C-alpha cells in the first residue's frame, strides 16, 4: 500500500499515519507492506518518524521533487507536495484500488480495508 502524504508534522497527515501505526495489523501483514511517501526532505521525515514512532517505511520523494507522486498522478504543483493518494498495488505493479483526496480532506481507510479483504 502506497500512502502519499502532503507534509510531515501537519495535523491531518500525522493523524492518518498514526491511525496506520495504531492499527498496523489492518494495514500490513505477510502479503502486504505499507509505504508512506512525502515530498519533504529526508531529514524532516526522519524527525517526524522518530517523534511519532512510525514503525513502517516513510520515504522521501524530495528529489527529483515529486517524481514518484507525479508518476502516480498525485503531485500538486500549486503546493509542491503530493495530494492524499492511497494505492493498493499488487506484486506485479498493478494498482488494485485507489483513493485520492484533495489537500485538507482526511482519507477514510474503510475502503482500503474492504479492498484488501476482497483481494485475500
**pLDDT tens figures, 14-29:** 999 999 999 998 888 8
- Residue 9 Ramachandran class (φ > 0 left, ψ -120 to 50 alpha, else beta): left
Q: Tell me the residue range of the domain where 63 lies.
A: 2-119
| Distance from C-alpha of 50 to C-alpha of 71, rounded to nearest angstrom | 28
pLDDT by residue (tens digit) across 89-107? 988 999 999 999 987 899 9
Domain count, the chain: 1
pLDDT confidence of residue 112: 86
pLDDT by residue (tens digit) across 53-86? 999 999 999 999 999 999 999 999 999 999 999 9
pLDDT confidence of residue 48: 98
115 phi, psi to nearest 5 deg? -65, -40
Query: Percentage of the chain surpassing pLDDT 70?
Result: 100
Helix (H) or strand (E) holding 75: strand 75-76
Where residue 110 sits, what CATH number does that domain have? 3.40.30.10
pLDDT at 6 over 90: yes
Q: How far is CA 98 from CA 23, 48, 52, 74, 86, in A?
A: 20, 25, 26, 11, 6
- Residues annotated as catalytic are 13
Helix (H) or strand (E) holding 50: helix 42-52
pLDDT confidence of residue 115: 84
Q: Which residue has the cell 520523494?
A: 61
Amino acid at each position: 500500500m502506497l500512502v502519499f502524504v502532503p507534509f510531515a508534522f501537519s495535523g491531518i497527515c500525522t493523524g492518518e499515519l498514526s491511525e496506520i501505526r495504531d492499527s498496523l495489523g489492518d494495514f500490513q501483514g505477510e502479503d502486504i507492506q505499507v509505504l508512506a511517501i512525502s515530498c519533504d526532505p529526508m531529514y524532516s521525515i526522519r524527525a517526524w518518524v522518530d517523534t511519532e514512532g512510525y514503525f513502517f517505511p516513510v520515504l522521501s520523494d524530495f528529489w527529483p521533487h515529486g517524481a514518484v507522486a507525479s508518476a502516480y498522478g498525485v503531485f500538486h504543483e500549486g503546493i509542491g507536495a503530493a495530494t492524499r493518494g492511497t494505492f493498493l498495488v499488487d506484486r506485479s505493479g498493478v494498482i488494485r484500488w485507489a483513493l485520492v483526496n484533495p489537500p485538507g480532506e482526511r482519507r477514510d481507510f474503510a475502503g482500503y480495508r474492504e479492498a484488501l479483504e476482497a483481494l485475500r
